[in-house]
Amino acid sequence: KISKMAAAPRVPETQDITRIERIGAHSHIRGLGLDDALEARMVSQGMVGQTNARRAAGVILQIIREGKIAGRALLIAGQPGTGKTAIAMGMAQSLGPDTPFTMISGSEIYSLEMSRTEALSQAFRRSIGVRIKEETEIIEGEVVEIQIDKPAAGSGEKRGKLTLKTTEMETIYDLGSKMIEGLQKERVQAGDVVTIDKASGKISKLGRSFTRARDYDAMGASTKFVQCPEGELQKRKEVVHTVSLHEMDVINSRAQGFLALFAGDTGEIKQEIREQIDQKVSEWREEGKAEIVPGVLFIDEVHMLDIECYSYLNRALESPMAPVLVFATNRGITRIRGTNYKGPHGMPIDLLDRLLIISTEPYSEKEISQILHIRCEEEDVEMSDDAQELLTKIAMETSLRYAIHMICTASLVCTKRKGTEVDMQDIKRVYSLFSDVKRSTQYMMEYQHEFMFSEISKPDGEVEVGDAMKTD
């Protein structure tokens, strides 16, 4: 329970989010590495090289941020290991969490228990956000004192008092058991600046007050300091919720409502439901309660789509509710899936004509060395200069991805011998343990007759079957 409420001015929305992150293939990417003039820096925000491709992606980024033009599509094409997915991840990081960014692979379309066009429709609507605005009342202030009265009998409902202050006033609030549990859960103590939602009772800790900056025993390395709030304790704030059109479709198409979002495969959604959602969103936009947030749909390995999917994309790009599409492929001129015809990147010409195409180029030796250095920092691996030079040479002769995989494994080998820095001995050891594609292929060519179902053409065109499969 909270008493002594009074109307007061608005404050900006605050969010309390806890993130748990793991090191991934592109976790070192922080953005596109562009300056204010959209010029690409050589090494910035985890991005290295590919200056022309990043500069072009920056232009597309401005189109997305303005959100005025729908149906724009981009194709990032290049050899394997030239940073196509990294550029897409850089775009996602630059857009921030408020802009929907959906990432799928072309092969995912076939593994869902629904039609391919329905799977694409859901991906499209995941990439369109609706920013809904509402006002709520909060109490915001610095904690002066927390008093919790334990029941005399040892059991029963807890009671207490919370003293909050701003730069202009100080007030004591009565606390019930629910509020006491919330304060204990958030580990709120004197000197913390908190907000309390009047409607839900949710407590959010904004940080420590600057007046407590000298209390070294009550802070850690990640302690955030904030100013003591000004004005009155009770304020009105504008809360903004961003949900995707697909989430609204699911909630309104299932009997369990919001819980359907956690049920996994949502199944096919009727077109009538989507039309009703679109109509309601249009009404909210006219009333000023909501606005559309066009996002990005990134389809990796787009050559895995078939002609039916390409036909759907041609039509969907003409919709005013279409997000910005970003495709990526490493294929050259190859067969279009679902037909007997070949096309550039395995895509039909009429769809390619709608795309802006960005080409990526192979990395230079210097750029590969910089990428490997960034990955060592990201994975917290100490590596000698000689070892990094050797790893760069291996990357030039094999592939960048293989060399990146060697960083972690070489670090484990170094730890096994109780070393503190990865050296050339560890790199050579890992190189001997794990084969790259070229060495594995060479091994298969030499010993293919000892494997099951191995076939290789003889010079005269006959097929030689491995001895393991020969029968009398």
pLDDT, tens only, 43-101: 888 888 888 988 988 888 887 777 666 678 899 999 988 888 888 888 888 887 778 88
Give the pLDDT score at 219.
Answer: 56
Tokens encoding 57: 């992606």
Distance CA 134, CA 200 (A): 14
Angle (nearest 5°) at CA 49 between 48 and 51 = 125
| Average pLDDT, integer, range 409-430 | 91
Contact 176, 203 (CB under 8 A): no
Q: Which residue's entry shows tokens 């913390």?
A: 192
pLDDT at residue 428 is higher than 90: yes
**pLDDT over 90 for what percent of the chain?**
26
Q: What is the pLDDT of residues 148-174, one digit of tens each?
A: 887 766 666 778 888 898 888 888 888
More confidently predicted of 390 and 67: 390
The set of long-range contacts for 284-287, using a CB threshold of 8 Å and a minimum separation of 24, is 284/130, 284/132
Q: How far is CA 417 from CA 13, 64, 430, in A?
A: 52, 51, 13
Residue 71: other Cβ atoms inside 10 A: 16
Distance CA 386, CA 47 (A): 23
Contact 335, 304 (CB under 8 A): no
| Average pLDDT, integer, range 313-338 | 89
Give the pLDDT score at 394.
Answer: 94
Give the pLDDT score at 174.
Answer: 85
Instruction: Give the N- to C-terminal CA distance of the chain in Å, as an integer.
Output: 88
Treating both helix axes as pointing N-terminal to C-terminal, what angle do 245-253 and 116-126 enclose, rounded to 10 degrees? 120
Contact 395, 402 (CB under 8 A): yes
Residue 191: other Cβ atoms inside 10 A: 19
Give the pLDDT score at 237.
Answer: 77
Q: What is the pLDDT of residues 196-218, one digit of tens each?
A: 888 778 888 888 888 776 665 55
Q: Name which of 128-142, 244-258, 447-461 the model is least confident about.
A: 447-461
pLDDT at residue 263 is higher than 60: no
For residue 310, give the nearest of 341, 277, 270 by alpha carbon. 341
In what order do the strands lie in the sheet containing 73-77?
A: 101-105, 296-300, 324-329, 73-77, 355-359
For residue 125, give the nearest of 298, 248, 240, 241 by alpha carbon. 248
pLDDT at residue 464 is higher than 60: no
Distance CA 68, CA 103 (A): 22
pLDDT at residue 360 is higher than 80: yes
Tokens encoding 457: 């053409």
Contact 132, 284 (CB under 8 A): yes
Question: In whole angstroms, what separates CA 47 from the centre of its chain?
Answer: 16
What stretch of H or E contains 281? helix 271-287
Name the maximum alpha-carbon separation found in the chain. 98
Handedness of CA 396, 402, 408, 410 (dihedral sign): negative
Distance CA 130, CA 269 (A): 19
Give the pLDDT score at 471.
Answer: 40
Evaluate if pTM is beyond 0.85. no
Give 152's DSSP letter. T
Q: What is the pLDDT of residues 28-45, one digit of tens each?
A: 788 888 888 888 888 888
Residue 153: other Cβ atoms inside 10 A: 6
Give the pLDDT score at 407.
Answer: 92
Query: In this structure, which amino acid lies at residue 376?
Result: C
pLDDT at residue 258 is higher than 50: no
pLDDT at residue 300 is higher than 60: yes
For residue 314, give the nearest of 127, 119, 117, 78 by alpha carbon. 117
With a CB cutoff of 8 Å and minimum separation 6, the contacts of 273 are 249, 252, 253
pLDDT at residue 433 is higher than 90: yes
Distance CA 150, CA 378 (A): 48
More confidently predicted of 98 and 287: 287
Give the pLDDT score at 260.
Answer: 46
Across all residues in the chain, what is the average pLDDT? 82
| Average pLDDT, integer, range 227-239 | 83
